[in-house]
A and B are shown apart, each in its own frame.
Chain A
Amino acid sequence: EVQLVESGGALVQPGRSLKLSCAASGFTFSHSYMAWVRQAPKKGLEWVATISTRGTTTYYPDSVRGRFTISRDNAQGSLSLQMNSLKSEDTATYYCARHGERIHFDSWGQGVLVTVSS
């Protein structure tokens, strides 16, 4: 069974940094593209970042490019999201997700809450 378990959520002040982690199990982690997707309170879903199997290629939307960095450790089966220069609009539940072969998201973690507020 695929399991994705996020950690690292917190209350942080605007302008500060935070790193999220995701522990993956139940599948061959190194064979899957991985992603982060977020959901602001009572809002819809927003894709945040994607990383290729070897970590050599990353993708971001304009809203986070240059501030967020996705990375992975295939030996440990872990995914990370380094978030810098946080803004109030980054407040959301962040989900770790596995990409399927059609670049959809076929497995999701339980999510972790990040609140950016002074």
Chain B
Amino acid sequence: DIQMTQSPASLSVSLGETVSIECLASGAISNDLAWYQQKSGKSPQLLIYGTSRLQDGVPSRFSGSGSGTRFSLKISGMQPEDEADYFCQQSYLYPLTFGSGTKLEIK
């Protein structure tokens, strides 16, 4: 199974700050990596798939990069509505696996 190690577990940032969240896969997953945002009490929402492809309707301040085993999600300019939990997920191999999540808060 592919294990996804996500860091940091939590992050506190100021409005307007640039944020980076990382995911490390235990094996090569090509570019089959997605990112999800989950706000408190809500369902997860897809942000990015295929490492860097922005889902329709997602603000352009979100971007994804990486390949092989190292991937990252960047938020360029933290906004109040970005306070949420973020999860990565590999879709290269079954069983599909998620990172443990990053809790992003406003300082």
* A→B interface (CB under 8 Å): 37, 44-47, 50, 59-62, 95, 100, 102-111
Contact = CB atoms under 8 A, between A and B. Distances in A.
Interface stretch (B15-23, B45-53, B65-73): B45-53
A95 B95 contact: no
Interface of B: 32, 34, 36, 43-46, 49-50, 55, 87, 89, 91, 94-101
Contacts of B94: 50, 59
Contacts, number: 58
A103 B36 CA distance: 14
Main SS class of interface, B: loop
A105 B32 contact: no
A109 B49 contact: no
Given A102-B34, A104-B34, A106-B49, A44 B87 contact: yes
Contacts of B95: 47, 59-62
Contact of B43 (A47, A102, A106, A108): A108
Contact of B98 (A45, A59, A106): A45
Given A44-B101, A61-B95, A106 B44 contact: no
A109 B43 contact: yes
B98 A44 contact: yes
A103 B44 contact: no
Nearest to A4: B43
A47 B98 contact: yes
B44 A105 contact: yes
